[in-house]
Amino acid sequence: MLPERLSLYMQLTRMNKPIGTLLLLWPTLWGLWIAGNGHPDPRILLIFILGTFMMRSAGCAINDYADRDIDLHVRRTSGRPITSGKISPKEALSLAAALALISFLLILPLNSLTLLLSIPAVFLAASYPYTKRFFAIPQAYLGIAFGFGIPMAFAAELGSVPPVAWVMLAANIFWSIAYDTEYAMVDRDDDVHLNIHSSALFFGRHDVNAVMACYAATLFLLALAGRMANLGLYYFSGLAVAAAIALYHYSLIRERRRDGCFKAFLHNNWFGAAVYAGIFLDYLK
The model's confidence at residue 191, banded by pLDDT at 50, 70 and 90, is low
Helix (H, G, I), strand (E, B) or coil at 233: helix
Run of H or E residues at 9: helix 2-13
Query: What radius of gyration, in Å, describes the C-alpha atoms of the chain?
Result: 19
Domain housing 126: 2-284
The pTM assigned to this predicted structure is 0.92
Task: Find out whether 260 and 186 touch, Cβ atoms under 8 Å.
Answer: no
- Reply yes or no on whether the pLDDT at 154 is more than 90: yes
pLDDT reported for residue 149? 94
Q: Write out pLDDT tens, residues 110-122.
A: 999 999 999 999 8
pLDDT reported for residue 5? 83
**Alpha helices (H) along 14-71:** 19-35, 42-66, 68-71
Q: What is the mean pLDDT of the chain?
A: 92
Instruction: Name the residue with higher pLDDT: 257 or 189.
Output: 257
Helix (H, G, I), strand (E, B) or coil at 37: coil
The model's confidence at residue 68, banded by pLDDT at 50, 70 and 90, is confident
| Angle between helix 112-131 and helix 42-66 axes, rounded to 10 deg | 20
pLDDT reported for residue 168? 98
Helix (H, G, I), strand (E, B) or coil at 170: helix
Q: Write out pLDDT tens, residues 80-109.
A: 889 888 899 999 999 999 999 999 999 999
The model's confidence at residue 193, banded by pLDDT at 50, 70 and 90, is low
pLDDT reported for residue 190? 66
Say which CATH number the domain at 94 has.
1.10.357.140
Q: Phi first, then psi: give them for residue 37, nearest 5 degrees.
A: 55, 40
- 188 C-beta neighbours (distance < 10 Å), count: 17
Task: Find out whether 158 and 191 touch, Cβ atoms under 8 Å.
Answer: no
pLDDT reported for residue 187? 75
The model's confidence at residue 79, banded by pLDDT at 50, 70 and 90, is confident
| Angle between helix 42-66 and helix 2-13 axes, rounded to 10 deg | 90
Q: Nearest CA to 173 among 197, 202, 151?
A: 151
> What is the count of structural domains for the chain?
1
pLDDT reported for residue 192? 65
- Tell me which range, 17-21, 129-133, 200-204, 210-214, is most confidently predicted by mean pLDDT: 210-214
Side-chain half-sphere CA neighbours of 109 within 13 A: 10
